[in-house]
């Protein structure tokens, strides 16, 4: 072997060793980089699982909303089923109307107006007279206690009169007409009759009288209204 062949052999061996070393180093890199994705996958899986807890929390809220709406709708339906007024004669509220000569009843009282005198004649020799520009008008009325409890009946407390202008006519304490109706305690079945006289302007007439003893009508809120115009 000559000198040139010897140097060529040595160079070939050096190249081979160099290539092996490079191959060994480069091969280790793919292995290390290949091992990284599993860790990244685990980390990404953990990250994906972490938000699941708060995501599941709102579920009960969405499911409770329809129940709340249903409850509100049920409450509204129940409220709408409660009657706002009581039809005439079906309970303990509402106005009972009648006319002269006809009887009307509540669960407490029966009322009948038999006569209206408007105006009441006043003689020149009368001791008491209506005020200036006023006159007297009277109604003959009968009331009966048809309930179980006693009723403290007073014309001034239990009877209100209205004029044709919807003004109030006050009961006169001094009118001397007919048989004045007195205050009395009416037990069940008791009846009181008499004349109640009111003072009102001369240019007006009695339109109606309302009968209701507020203090004794517990549980019965109805008023008997007698139309005096017919």
pLDDT digits (tens, 9 = 90+) for 46-88: 444 444 444 444 444 444 444 444 444 444 444 433 333 444 4
Give first-to-last CA distance, the chain, whole Å. Answer: 157
pLDDT (tens digit, 9 = 90+) per residue, 166-179? 999 988 888 888 99
Token digits for 3?
């000198």
pLDDT band with cut points at 50, 70 and 90 for residue 206: very high
pLDDT band with cut points at 50, 70 and 90 for residue 38: very low
Token digits for 69?
């709406």
- Using omega within 30 degrees of 0 as the cis cutoff, is the peptide bond preceding 119 cis? yes
164 has a pLDDT exceeding 70: yes
167 HSE (CA, 13 A, CB side): 12
Which whole-number Å values give the CA distances from 219 to 16, 159, 167, in the listed order? 118, 19, 28
Closest CA to 86 of 226, 225, 223, 212: 223
pTM summary value:
0.60
Coil vs helix vs strand at 192: strand
User: Which domains does the chain carry?
Assistant: 105-227 (2.60.40.1240)
Closest CA to 146 of 93, 182, 105, 92: 105
Give the angle subtended at the CA of 40 by the CAs of 34 and 44, to the nearest 5°: 150
């Amino acid at each position: 072997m000559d000198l040139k062949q010897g140097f060529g052999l040595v160079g070939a061996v050096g190249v081979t060793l160099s290539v092996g070393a490079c191959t060994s180093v480069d091969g280790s890199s793919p292995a290390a980089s290949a091992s990284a994705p599993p860790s990244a996958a685990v980390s990404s899986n953990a990250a994906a699982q972490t938000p699941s807890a708060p995501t599941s929390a709102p579920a009960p809220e969405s499911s409770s909303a329809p129940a709340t709406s249903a409850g509100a709708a049920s409450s509204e339906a129940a409220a709408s089923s409660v009657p706002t007024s009581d039809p005439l004669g079906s309970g303990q509220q509402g106005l009972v109307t009648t006319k002269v000569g006809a009887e009307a009843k509540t669960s407490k009282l029966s009322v009948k107006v038999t006569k209206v005198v408007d105006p009441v004649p006043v003689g020149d020799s009368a001791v008491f007279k209506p005020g200036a520009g006023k006159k007297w008008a009277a109604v003959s009325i009968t009331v009966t206690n048809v309930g179980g409890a006693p009723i403290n009946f007073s014309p001034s407390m239990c009877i209100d009169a209205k004029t044709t202008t919807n003004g109030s006519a006050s009961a006169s304490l001094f009118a001397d007409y007919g048989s004045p109706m007195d205050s009395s305690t009416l037990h069940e079945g008791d009846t009181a009759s008499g004349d109640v006289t009111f003072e009102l302007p001369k240019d007006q007439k009695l339109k109606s009288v309302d009968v209701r003893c507020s203090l004794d009508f517990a549980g019965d809120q109805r008023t008997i209204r007698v139309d005096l115009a017919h």
